[in-house]
Amino acid sequence: MQVDASAADAAATIHPDAASANDDAAIAPDATNDLIPVGHEREMRAIWVATVSNIDFPRSTRLTPAEAQADLEAMVTRTATAGLNAIFFQVRPESDAFYASTLEPWSRFLTGTQGQDPGYDPLATLIALARRRHIEVHAWINPYRGLTSSSVQAAPTHVTRTLSAHAINYGAGVVMDPGSTEVRAHVVAVVRDLIEHYEVDGVHFDDYFYPYPDAGGTPFPDSDSYDAYRAGGGMMSLGDWRRDNVNALVRDVSTMMTQVKPTMRFGISPFGIWKNNTPPGIRGLDAFATIYCDAVTWMREGWVDYLAPQLYWPTTQVPQAYGTLAPWWASQNMGGRHLFPGHALSRLGSGPEWSIDEMREQVEITRGLRDQGAQGDVFFSYRQFAADLEGVFGLFQRTLYRLPALPPPVPRALPTPAPPTLIARAGGMSIEHAARGSLSWLVLYRSVGGVWVIERILEKDATEANVANGDWAVSAIGPGGNESLGRTVTVR
């Protein structure tokens, strides 16, 4: 993530009387019909957890499995307590793995040695912990970075060795050539292997496509690939050819994921400026021409379910103000896909322009763009959040994310589950569902002044809910996020 110069994340609070984001009207309980439309304002509330160079996890390569797993549990607990609902966990920081991959070696950021088994599975552990706290887990992948340093001792199964002809030294590190069809096929295979073996809620690419220019502005040395393309009759310019290579990877991953796991969300976090002077007056690195990232095309072609552009500038900064860029990105939304702007928590307190009020204002701007597809936010990164930098934890817990919410449904046609069956009892209710294995969550609603208000999210296996006397409803959430009608019950 480009949070600083080296390459080293809510409108108003959601009020109890808010109508459903799915345009469901507020409906009072009806004693004659125990099935009613329910819903709440869905919102992605995600935190990036960076593992490259041990930025966020693990805090040391010398942790025991028990210590690392305890840290993951603390991470999930803190995330849930603050009202967030998703963790974007970096599982492939340098063509390696934070999970038991059949294609790539264990990451050196776990133990200090690439390929060494850490004695536990970080991704599997995180998924199990997160499920119990109603937190989604998205697998964050860096598609082209081979190694952050060319001096790293790569494991025999690492792609810089198995596809060494396509490994390009650039700057301090190694980049896998985006112009190589073998590299593209390998990345697609890695994603497929991951989603077939782990029940993640989505796959997330970061902003490293063609590499950011090194300190000296050295041209990226991919002339062999480009010359071979031209020799084969290719007519595209170098820039168009590079963008086409990246587009092909995005398209291929999207196609594969839709076929294999259509309920999983696929999204990308591009650099926050698409092109210089777009929108007019914006100045900065031109992602389209510098790292060959054409995020607008990905959205318009329907290859991604969302974009999370890294809008790491305050609302007061000229010429890259958040308040200018977020509406522009939202205006590019096509076909019902989503925008989840990225925010730089890491910059809080770095200057007067980076106050806690600035973070609140940025989320308010996002929420003001809901009608244009802006359905949440992603924050970089967990370390600053865990440290409660400038009081951001309290801002989330007590103000912005006071009421629970699930992320918006995946924007494609998916089945809607059947509602549960409820049986009132003293002090609560029993919950039954014939197809629990096909659910993601259950959602409990309470009637407050004739309006159905979300009370809390329940595990899909919940069979009981203790509640006060009153009118209640429970709905079922299927994989991908579609919500059933609510089944009502009166507890006396």
* Residue 317 and residue 273 in one domain: yes
Query: What pLDDT score does 2 carry?
Result: 54
* Residue 174 and residue 231 in one domain: yes
* Residue 271 and residue 373 in one domain: yes
Q: What percent of the chain has pLDDT over 70?
A: 93
Give this prediction's pTM. 0.93
Residue where one domain finishes, among candidates 400, 433, 448: 400
Residue where one domain finishes, among candidates 400, 432, 464: 400
CATH number for position 234: 3.20.20.80
* Residue 148 and residue 253 in one domain: yes
* Residue 384 and residue 444 in one domain: no
Indicate whether 341 belongs to any domain: yes
Indicate whether 22 belongs to any domain: no
Query: What pLDDT score does 408 carry?
Result: 98
Indicate whether 84 belongs to any domain: yes
* Residue 373 and residue 444 in one domain: no
Indicate whether 433 belongs to any domain: yes
Query: What pLDDT score does 334 carry?
Result: 78
Task: State which residues form the domain around 463.
Answer: 421-491
* Residue 365 and residue 440 in one domain: no
Q: How many domains in the chain?
A: 2
* Residue 360 and residue 453 in one domain: no
* Residue 334 and residue 373 in one domain: yes
* Residue 431 and residue 339 in one domain: no
* Residue 357 and residue 294 in one domain: yes
Indicate whether 28 belongs to any domain: no
CATH number for position 436: 2.60.40
* Residue 70 and residue 218 in one domain: yes
Low-confidence ranges of the chain (pLDDT < 50): 3-32
Over the chain, what HEC string results?
CCCCCCCCCCCCCCCCCCCCCCCCCCCCCCCCCCEECCCCCCCEEEEEECCHHHCCCCCCCCCCHHHHHHHHHHHHHHHHHCCCCEEEEEEECCCCECCCCCCCCECHHHHCCCCCCCCCCHHHHHHHHHHHCCCEEEEEECCCEEECCCCCCCCCCCHHHHCHHHEEEECCEEEECCCCHHHHHHHHHHHHHHHHHCCCCEEEECCCCCCCCCCCCCCCCCHHHHHHHHHCCCCCCHHHHHHHHHHHHHHHHHHHHHHHCCCCEEEECCECCCECCECCCCCCCCHHHHCCCCHHHHHHCCCCCEECCECCCCCCCCCCCHHHHHHHHHHCCCCCCEECCEEEHHHCCCCCCCCHHHHHHHHHHHHCCHHHCECEEEEECHHHHHCCHHHHHHHHHHHHCCCCCCCCCCCCCCCCCCCCEEEEECCEEEEECCCHHHCCEEEEEEEECCEEEEEEEEECCCCEEECCCEEEEEEEECCCCCECCEEEEEEC
